[in-house]
Structure 1
Amino acid sequence: MTAPFNFGQLRFLKALTEALFHGADMAITADQVVDNICQLFDKVGGTKLDEIRLSLTAIEVVLGGPFFTEDDVAGRAAKLKNRLQNSQIDLFQDMARLRGIVYACYYGHWQSGLTPGDQDANVANPVHRQIGFTLPKHRARGAGEMPITPVTGREIDPAHVLDATTLGDEYDVVVIGSGAGGAVAAHNIAAQGYTVLIVEAGPFYPSHKIHHHELDMIASLYKHGALQTSTNRDFVVFQGRCVGGSSTINNGICLRVNEAGRTHPDAQDVLAKWASIGAPIDAAAFHASYDAVQAKLGIAPIEPRSGRHNGPHLIEGWKAYAGASGRPRDARAITDWFAKNFGPPNTPNACAYCGYCNSGCPYGRRMGVAQTYLPAACRDYGARLLPDTKAERIVWQTAYDGRREAEAVVLILPGDVRVMVRARVGLVVAGGTIASSKLLDRSDIDGTGYQVSLNVASPVVALLPDGVGGDAWDEDQMSSYVDVGDYLLESHFQPPMSMASLMPGWFADHADRMKNFGRVHSAGILFPADRRGRVVNDKLQFQLDATDDLPVLRDAMATLTKVHFAAGAIECYPALAKGQVVTPDMDIDAFFADAIREQDDVTLSSSHPHGGNAINVDPSHGIVDLDCRVHGTTNVLVTDASVFPSCIRVNAQWTTMAMAHYATGRSDPFG
């Protein structure tokens, strides 16, 4: 393979890898790690590859230029510790995040076999052996356990997938984006008799093409190979870039806004907030849309056996913590298992809890939009799907009443071939907060991409005593939650590559924590950062508010750490840049008050960007009207999370689908 990096960059990457594993035993060589890094960026390519090349050059200069590679491993490690690990300089803290890529490409090591993702060829994978991990195919499943076998018959028929040779010149409706918002809209519109073309920028990966080689799948199914960041690099923004969008690579979590009995009673009323800022949607109709999506996807609370380790760890830990806290807020908190579109549960097709949700379900058991709305739209109503194609801009004409009317859309096919496809009736934009904002901006819609919200996440990993419970990785990735009011706590556990990238720590400390892979339990915080961002130059610019957001972040991290200790943990590893350890004897609140001075001090991510093209009755305060139609146009709808007027504070999948149904479930949404 042609390396995506030059000789000097490869030499530096090897020297950096050796330094990051100083004091640790490596089960594979540094050269093999560098080869894995090359595989990742060879697939990702594009602007992200250009960005990492520039970063490598800058980091090498900071670490001493050619003198870094010529130093011994101990000397290199000392430079990393002094200049990156312990730095309070924002630029150096940003550079330090390269460690996560190196660790991910060590623990994501895969041995090639006869077929892509060959699990048999990895029975003796040396990295898996080092951390005591077993791939799903080789796990023992006894009586009452769900077998890890495929479910067939749910996939999109390949005959319904177009390419440049089969693409038509015109359709009634063109839908941009095949994720949660686009798929539901396409299905509903096609069901009304319109011919529908669904355009997707990413590839088509039916379940049988997905496998457990994390590095390969994440590079293939995520935007920028899951390395998309905010402009300041303080937030990693995870988004799917494939048929089905993020519903193909998420954990299937389905929460309604302000659902009675499943939401903290003191939590902000989201729909009331929307009404107060100019977006008074019909609450009864919106919840009816939730119901319609629930019926289509089989959404229901998961089976506890699928989250048997980290799920009860969080629930029981919360009960012990809240019982002793004496805080009224804690006493009113909601603790429950997630509802998901996996299965449905308690059927032969239920989730087989392999633990690889975030790199796609190879077993066809996830009831994502690529297994429900999209195949039904194509099979039953004649819609067609065009993957690997970008929407460049909307072509306008003037309607009889003076408003703009979408006449066509310019598409970029593989090979950078541009074609114009006419939309006889209308256009639906559903590419997600960032992509939809960019498309509308390129199409001369003013004011897009403002007031973007994030549900901000950060993990806290806990070490349990030896011999407590089974292997923590042998389960569904996310299973239980606690709604504390200002934020949520959510249990989770990741396969080796993903877990290594979020595991705090440097050098031998990181390696020791990974060697306890089966003993560590993990959960994360999720708190709403409301309308803090905007899309600038094709990227998300986002900054937490020091007065309103950072205190919530510190409180959430401290609370989750206390919950881990209440559940029996002996030490905790919050996702702090320096990799500190927290023990039960410490003043935990004081620790986090000192450790988190700014957002750069902690690893932050989000899978739920929303806003940017908000609903508002007033065109000067929003992009779309109450029917999700772009103000000043006759026939362009936006049906993704970008229309949310404020932060919804919970995982966004179900609400995005409900919004798309709300906008398109009525007869003649373009009328």
Structure 2
Amino acid sequence: MSNPHVIPDPIQAGLAAGWKVIDASALAEDRVIEADVVVVGSGAGGGVSAEILTLAGLRVVIVEEGALKSSRHFKMREAEAYPALYQEAGARKTKDKGINILQGRTVGGSTTVNWTSSFRTPPGTLEYWGLHFGLKEYSEAALAPWFEMMEQRLSVGAWNAPPNENNDLLRRGAGKLGVGVAAIRRNVKGCWNLGYCGMGCPTNAKQSMLVTTIPAALAGGATLLTRARAERLSFKGEHVDHLVCTALDGAGLAPTGRRVTLRAKHFVVAGGAINSPALLMRSMAPDPHALLGKRTFLHPTVMSAGTFAQRVDGYAGAPQTIYSDHFLHSQAIDGAIGYKLEAPPLHPLLLSTTMGGFGDEHAAMMRQFSHTHALLALLRDGFHADAPGGSVALGAGGAPVLDYPISDFVWDGVRRALLSMAEIQFAAGAKSVYPVHEMARGYATWAEAAKGIAALPYRNLLTRVVSAHVMGGCGMADDVRLGVVGADGRYHGAANLSVHDGSLFPTSVGANPQLSIYAVAARLASALAQSLTGRPAPRPRAQG
């Protein structure tokens, strides 16, 4: 009789069944591999594309710079998770070190470590894309079937468990002020409500690419190449001839000296915004209008911490279940910058490195950890001339570097967001509120906070800015003066090259982007599969 407390590990089972997985760190010699399609990246865009292309009968190779980890490796320990699962051990930063960027670097990409929040692309964003970038076929009605397909595939649905205290404080405080809130849909199945989603799901409840599309592709005959850095696409005229990958050591950091050459009929770049533009730059891909790497967006994010008399225990329970778009809808999309409010999970390492202060002050703040509540504001950049995002360039050794200057226009949104969050926290009963700013202090009343926040200087490195959402850099538009990729995902000037990830988005989404990437990648991969095979692409379906 099976033990109901044993959590099946689909990765372990698949490897035992003979999946074709090549760990490049173990290669003793160079390799050449041929396929119909090479997919660079195994995150939201790459995972969806790999499954659909494999289901269509194509030979697919998936390239991933990170390692293949699974639930047996996920121990809910920050010190182990960040180095193993994140870009630059969770310390990726912008050029001036002013913004910390959390991105996944493991099989499943950021979907393996995100907090499961699932939003469709806001209609206003799609309307803006149609008006300014000619993306008329990306209307709400046109994308609806693709959203429905991926929501079914990945078990996206309402989260019916009561919110944890961290999220419920947002609900209660906003309610007292007449600020509208709603529940966040999540891509989970059989969730244990642990709250450690950012460290890899130890129960395989999160329906990330790691436990859905990648296993489906491998079961269908695809090959997965891990610990392999995609260095350069080699062009012959308007065609990509091959991709050169560098094998990395067991730590995923240093080259071993081995190389893997991948040859294919078609290449899909899905390494995520920042990495995808960098690969194309290293490859000297066509870029006649100097658009590659430009208009990269982050949803610059600021935080406010509140201390409460009762325990909050922000680490326990589903991490994000309540949100407010009140401050998005109260602004015209191309007016003063709007922001989305959410309640992030709190874990000691993440909180301590995000909060300001040092020494005794910082220690005193951390002693209140179990009574601390946090709100974050995601600023919707990309819709105004004074919020143009940043640009990716190549640094030492061809590594990507994101330059992301913050304008006064954006700083004004930061100030308003900190005011909004503080007011909500006091309305919820906070004893004190601490905006995450190096010159702020803990304010004891809303009146004190309103005065103090208004007077703070808003400059780089004084105000703590973070982001887990990276979009743009390979902007999508059929007009080559506006985008480097067409509405069909095909790279302008390269006949057998596509981009299928969040780098396609011509602005930020204005919501957590994973579901937008799933739907767009499904649409593009299905069309690509039909183009390559001459048959309609099969529809992926949820397992079990």
- For residue 186 of structure 2, what is the aligned residue in structure 1? 340
Q: 1:450 aligns with which of 268, 277, 294?
A: 294
Q: 1:500 aligns with which of 352, 359, 362?
A: 352
Mapped pair 1:366 → 2:199: no
Is contact 1:254-1:299 (8 Å) kept? Answer: yes
Q: 1:316 aligns with which of 172, 180, 193?
A: 172
Q: Deviations over 1:558-602 (max 9, x none)?
A: 011000000000101111123511221534333222214223321
Give the superposition deviation at 1:419.
2.8
Q: 2:393 aligns with which of 509, 526, 536?
A: 536
Q: 1:474 aligns with which of 316, 323, 329?
A: 316
Farther off after superposition, 576-585 or 295-304: 576-585
Give the aligned residue type for 2:171.
Answer: I
Mapped pair 1:522 → 2:374: yes
Is contact 1:338-1:481 (8 Å) kept? Answer: yes
Give the superposition deviation at 1:320.
0.6
**1:105-504 matches, cutoff 5 A:** 151-155=7-11, 157-158=14-15, 159-160=18-19, 161-164=21-24, 169-258=33-122, 269-280=124-135, 281-283=137-139, 284-305=141-162, 307-322=163-178, 330=179, 333=180, 335-343=181-189, 349=190, 351-379=191-219, 381-398=220-237, 404-414=238-248, 415-423=256-264, 425-445=265-285, 446=287, 447=290, 448-465=292-309, 468=310, 471-484=313-326, 485=328, 486-504=338-356
Give the superposition deviation at 1:625.
0.6
Farther off after superposition, 603-612 or 272-281: 272-281
- For residue 115 of structure 1, what is the aligned residue in structure 2? none
- For residue 494 of structure 2, what is the aligned residue in structure 1? 633
Give the superposition deviation at 1:557.
0.8
Q: Distance in 2 between matches of 1:609 and 1:352?
A: 28
> Partner of 1:539: helix, strand, or coil?
strand
Q: Distance in 2 between matches of 1:373 and 1:171?
A: 19
Q: Distance in 2 between matches of 1:605 and 1:337?
A: 23
Farther off after superposition, 446-455 or 593-602: 593-602
Give the superposition deviation at 1:353.
2.3
Q: Distance in 1 between matches of 2:47 and 2:204?
A: 17
Q: Distance in 2 between matches of 1:177 and 1:354?
A: 28
Farther off after superposition, 270-279 or 171-180: 270-279
Give the aligned residue type for 2:201.
Answer: C
Higher RCO, 1 vs 2 (CA within 8 Å, ≥6 residues apart)? 2
- For residue 602 of structure 1, what is the aligned residue in structure 2? 463
Give the aligned residue type for 2:235.
Answer: W
Give the superposition deviation at 1:619.
1.4
> Partner of 1:203: helix, strand, or coil?
coil
Which is greater in Rg?
1
> Partner of 2:530: helix, strand, or coil?
coil
Q: Distance in 2 between matches of 1:589 and 1:185?
A: 48
Q: Distance in 2 between matches of 1:276 and 1:578?
A: 41
> Partner of 2:92: helix, strand, or coil?
coil
Give the superposition deviation at 1:304.
3.2
Q: 1:231 to 1:618 in 2, by over 3 A?
A: same
Give the superposition deviation at 1:238.
0.8
Q: Deviations over 1:25-84 (max 9, x none)?
A: xxxxxxxxxxxxxxxxxxxxxxxxxxxxxxxxxxxxxxxxxxxxxxxxxxxxxxxxxxxx
Give the superposition deviation at 1:490.
0.3
Give the aligned residue type for 2:223.
Answer: R
Q: Distance in 2 between matches of 1:369 and 1:440?
A: 24
Q: Distance in 1 between matches of 2:365 and 2:520?
A: 42
Q: Distance in 1 between matches of 2:5 and 2:193?
A: 11
Is contact 1:615-1:624 (8 Å) kept? Answer: yes
Paired-residue identity, %: 27
Give the aligned residue type for 1:512.
Answer: A
Q: Which has the higher helix share?
A: 1
Q: Distance in 2 between matches of 1:173 and 1:417?
A: 22
Give the superposition deviation at 1:540.
0.4
Tell me the C-alpha RMSD between the 2 structures. 2.0
> Partner of 1:559: helix, strand, or coil?
helix
Q: TM-score, normalised by structure 2?
A: 0.86
Q: Distance in 2 between matches of 1:150 and 1:178?
A: 27
Is contact 1:310-1:479 (8 Å) kept? Answer: no
